[in-house]
Amino acid sequence: MRLRNSLFFILFFTLINQAYSHNIIPYKAVYDVSLVGSDETKIEKINGKMEFELKISNGYVSKYFFNVLVEFKNKEIFKLKNALKAFEDFESKKYQYTFIKNQEDKQIKILSDYQNKTLIVNNDGKIKNKITNQDVLTPINFLKEIIHLNLKTVHSNYNSFKVIDGNFSDGFCTAHTYTELVKSENSTKKWKVSIEYVSENEMEDLPLSNVQLIIDERGVIHEIIQKYPKFKVKYNLFKLDEYK
């Protein structure tokens, strides 16, 4: 069973563009993970924690730690312990990603290195190269672009982006987004963002992933709902530490 933490997550560009990204903050957050809206007949419950940290120096350094238990109705318990560390520059020219997935007694290590429009993926010893002729957005820069567009006075709620994400085997994909403003308890703007990730492979009929985020203009993600065919997994923010 594949539980993808597609958080995919948060933001700043170049020194020239400081006005563009002045409101993006580095932070550390902890999320409760739970099963919601299930039509699944086999899964009884999902619970656990996800920790996320974003630091900004010469680029974006993001870390995730995912510790979740999946309990089935036949009383079997499936343990997921995943760790991720990624670096991307401010212009989506470079992206390095290390993902360690622990499932029961098995560990899988995935390394991704993207630069000069070439992606090299080492998936547990199996190496694959892929080249693109298009400009792409790395995960944090992708979220930053969503915020930037929604801060404009006139903007479209529907947008599509070419993105790169180490969570997907193909690396490159298209992300279709729909955003709507939601109520906030303070003056900080907040949006609900629905994202559908679509493979470049025309033989793929179904989306790679469907995710819904609630994100504010500072780049803080308050909620994630990962949608699967028969159930949804919710990540709810319950602890936030903002870095100075």
φ and ψ of 213, to 5 deg: -115, 150
Which is nearest to 64 in space by CA: 149, 4, 17? Answer: 4
What pTM, to 2 d.p., does this model score? 0.84
Q: The dihedral of CA 207, 209, 214, 215: what is its sign?
A: negative
For position 141, what pLDDT does the model report? 93
Structure tokens at 61: 């350094």
* Cα torsion through 39, 203, 135, 108, rounded to 10: 60
What is the rounded CA–CA span in Å between residue 9 and residue 50?
Answer: 13
Query: What's the start-to-end Cα distance of the chain, in Å?
Result: 39
- The 10 Å Cβ neighbour count of residue 238 is 10
- In the chain, the number of structural domains is 1
User: Is residue 76, in this structure, part of any structural domain at all?
Assistant: yes
pLDDT tens digits, the chain, 244 residues: what are they?
555 444 433 333 323 233 344 468 999 999 999 998 777 678 889 999 999 999 998 999 999 999 999 999 898 998 889 999 999 999 999 999 998 988 767 788 888 899 988 888 888 778 888 888 788 999 999 999 999 998 887 778 999 999 987 666 667 889 999 999 998 778 889 999 999 998 877 656 677 889 999 999 999 999 999 998 888 999 999 999 998 7
3-state secondary structure of 116: coil
User: Is residue 67, in this structure, part of any structural domain at all?
Assistant: yes
For position 1, what pLDDT does the model report? 53
Residue 184's DSSP bridge partners are none
Residues of the domain holding 199: 15-242
- The 10 Å Cβ neighbour count of residue 171 is 23
3-state secondary structure of 16: helix
User: Is residue 5, in this structure, part of any structural domain at all?
Assistant: no
Cα 106 to chain center, whole Å? 24
The radius of gyration of the chain's CA atoms, rounded to the nearest angstrom, is 18
User: Is residue 152, in this structure, part of any structural domain at all?
Assistant: yes
User: Is residue 3, in this structure, part of any structural domain at all?
Assistant: no
User: Is residue 24, in this structure, part of any structural domain at all?
Assistant: yes
User: Is residue 27, in this structure, part of any structural domain at all?
Assistant: yes
User: Is residue 4, in this structure, part of any structural domain at all?
Assistant: no
